[in-house]
Structure formats: C-alpha cells, structure tokens
Amino acid sequence: MKNKKVMLMGFVSALMLSVLLSPSLVAKSDTSQEEESSRLQSLAKFTKVLGIVEEYNVDSLGVDQLIDKSLQGLLSNLDAHSNFLDKKSFDSLKSQTDGEFGGLGITVGMRDNALTVISPIEGTPADKAGIKSGDIILKVNNKSTLGMAIDDAVVLMRGVPKTPVDLTIVRKGEAEPLKFHIIRQIITVESVYTRMIDTNILYIRVTSFDKKVANDVKVALQKYAPKSKGIILDLRNNPGGLLEQAVELTDLFVTKGVIVSQKGRNKNDDTVYSATGKAMMPDIPLVVLVNEGSASASEIVSGAMQDLKRGIIVGTKTFGKGSVQVVMPISETEGIKLTIARYYLPSGRTIQAVGVIPDVEVDEGEIKKHDNKFNIKEADLKKHLESELEKTTGMVDVTEANATNKTIITKEQLSKDIQLKEGVGILKALIISKGK
C-alpha cells in the first residue's frame, strides 16, 4: 500500500507540475499569488480524494481507471455535449466519421438529464420501427440510461449488423413505456433527395449535413429549378452535421448578410460566416419545414433564412442546440470532445436551449377527410351543360397518374403530411404574390 501511495503521489505531483507549467498558465505572468495558491489547494484536494478512493473503495481500481473516471465526470458535468473519449468511444467516433457503421439510425442528446431522441434518420431501422423525435430512451437492452453518458449509450446501441437491440421508450401522451425490438443494420444515409409537387414546385429533403450536402443541393437546383416556381426545403428530423455545409447551403439562397457567427471564451474561436453574393436562387419563393428534430446545422439554415427574410419557416419549434464542439486528441487512442463556442443567428439571437420558432406553427399529423356522399354537384343535375363535360373527357390528373412515381409527391401523400401541405399552400400564395 505504501508503494502504491508513493506512485500516486508521484503521479499527482507530475500532474500539478504540468498544470503549473502549461502554456496557458505561463503566458499569464500577471496571475496573482492568490490564484496560484487556490489552484494548488484545489489540486491538493483532488490528490487527497483520489488517494482515499484508491485505498478504501469497495472495488480495487488502479490510478489509470480513477483518472479516466475523473475525466469522465469532469467533462460530462460541463454540459450535455462535452465528454471524455476513451479508446472505445474514440474508435466509435471514428467509425461514425467514416460514414458507415452498424446501428439503429438515431441521433440522441441530453434534455433535462434524460437521454432523448433528437431525430431518427430517415429510412433506417429506428425510423421504420416508429421511433420519434422527443422519445426518451429509458433502457437499452434492460440497462437503465439514468446517469449514463451519451457515448456509453451510443456504444450500447451500435454493434454488429443484423443483431438485435431492445429499447424501452417513454413517449409523451403514452400512459406506459413502449418497447421496441430493432435489428441493427449498416447505416448509410441518402442526405439529399428531391421530388416534384404539382409539376412546378421543387421539394428538397435534407436528412443530415454531411460533406456533400451543399453540392448535392446545387446539382438538384441546376436540374430542376429552371422549371420550378417555388421550393420546399425540408429540414425536419435533421440532427445537423457540418457547419460549413449549413453555411454553403444557405449561401445558395441568400445574396448578402451574415449567415451565422460563433463566439467563444477564446477570441480565436470567434468566427463570422457571411454570404458570398453568389446565390443561385436569390429570388425564388422558398418555404423551410422544421420540427423538434431539427437541430444544430438545421437551425442555422432555418434561423438564417428567417432573420434574413429569405423564406417562410413552417412546422414546430426546433431542438435548440446552438453550441460548437471540437474533438481534441490527448493521445493516439483517446481524446476529449469539448464545447468551445455558441452559434448566433444574423439578428444576434442565440439558438442554444431556445431553438427556432416557425413563422407559421403547424403540428404534425394527417388531414382528416369526410366523404360527403349526399352532396349534389352541377354534374348531377339533369340538364347540365354536357357539351362542356365532353371537352374534358379523357383528361387525367397528372399527379394521381404518377402515384407510383417516386419523383413526384401526390395529393394523397400531401394529405398524410399536414405540415408539408400547409407549406405548399403558403408557397403557392408566395408564387401568386410574386406574379410567377
């Protein structure tokens, strides 16, 4: 035990020395003696607690384990998105960055200390199983998520493709927890896809902001925009992604002004992103769809469009993630993910914990239709003008005729998505007002 104490004290002494000689501290030559004394006292307190835990904890833990747990506690208590990445978490993050991994297809975050689904990724096992934005994950394979770090929960949900995961979900409006049995699959996501509505409205769906999003949207605009009178940009259940892609996407539609800025404690992290003045579609009527699953980069795009008066935002209030994280390696196999700044929209308002409130708030759902069999129309009258009816004989509803065409959104599909239908109605009004 004495040797272990000597090792521990030697380790902590080295730690204290490295802290005192760190570049940030050496640069602060005017740091008062009181502050240095306070720092030493704090490190001494840490040393004492570390020694007590090592000696008396019911389970025997080595110094490496204790330090890792200390770092985990330190980072996770800063905010919901900062954390210590041990080898397992670090490898998991790399696999996510590579863009292909075995999992369920959901983005999660912490809300009120509960592991919450930000959004299911469209077309993935979680989406097909019925997981919804706002669901609280109570258990993963019978392991409670209470007090569990996000990365630990992610590790549990990821794994070998074609293996099962059981989730216990708490959902608003449901009296009892829901259970989902989901089979992991390789997660590959189509980030951008397009459809046409009524032959002259271009619908662009962006599911996440990966490194190709802005270019894919640009290609879609080049292909479809010449015959389009308006655009629906659907960012619902988009958990975000790369900041530069959000900026580049917005830049396709706005001609001038600040798109987003980030401000941190370190002035070197302060950055302002502005429009380049090379917008492809600066004037075409635009509606942006959002919901509570729209987060981070999605909120930057929708918030910028709103502040710059470039489009009408339709849907429900967004998630409210307006912070910037960076991954800093501390060794070849470990690192930390740290929040270094906050995002601010063109008007100067923050997204963090506030989100973007739509211009037109519309809850999700379907349009209920009532079949009024007893209504009488002109065509039902005995002496109606049949010659006019003959002129229209043989005409077919183009939208319904293409019901099986995946490049078109039909009237029936619109009726099942009230947010999209409302967005189309608003867009048509914008088109008329602009004389398009």
Q: What is the CATH number for 332?
A: 3.90.226.10
Structure tokens, 255: 């001609």
Q: Is the predicted pLDDT of residue 125 greater than 90, yes or no?
A: yes
Q: What is the CATH number for 108?
A: 2.30.42.10
Place of tokens 């997204």: 351
321 shares its domain with 199: yes
315 shares its domain with 236: yes
335 shares its domain with 199: yes
234 shares its domain with 159: no
**Domain contains 13:** no
Which residues, at least 6 apart from 264, have a Cβ–Cβ distance to it below 8 Å? 270, 324, 340, 341, 342
What is the SS3 assignment for 172?
Answer: coil
Q: Is the predicted pLDDT of residue 131 greater than 50, yes or no?
A: yes
Number of folded domains in the chain? 2
241 shares its domain with 277: yes
Which residues, at least 6 apart from 217, have a Cβ–Cβ distance to it below 8 Å? 192, 204, 206, 249, 252
263 shares its domain with 121: no
Q: Which of 186, 209, 237 is the last residue of a domain?
A: 186
For residue 98, name the pLDDT band (cuts at 50, 70, 90). Answer: low
219 shares its domain with 300: yes
Q: Whole-prediction pTM value?
A: 0.74
Let me know: does 245 contact 219? Beta carbons within 8 Å: no
**Domain contains 348:** yes
**Domain contains 94:** yes
Dump pLDDT digits (tens) for 140-177.
999 999 988 887 898 899 888 999 999 999 999 999 99
223 shares its domain with 339: yes
258 shares its domain with 287: yes
Share of the chain above pLDDT 70, in %: 82
φ and ψ of 414, to 5 deg: -65, -40
Mean of all residue pLDDT scores within the chain: 85
Q: Is the predicted pLDDT of residue 356 greater than 90, yes or no?
A: yes
**Domain contains 57:** no
**Domain contains 66:** no
Which of the residues are catalytic?
Answer: 296, 307, 321
**Domain contains 434:** no
Q: Mean of the pLDDT values across residues 399-424?
A: 78
**Domain contains 280:** yes
Q: Which domain holds residue 286?
A: 192-361
112 shares its domain with 203: no
182 shares its domain with 295: no
Q: Which of 302-316, 322-336, 392-406 has the lowest mean pLDDT?
A: 392-406
218 shares its domain with 175: no
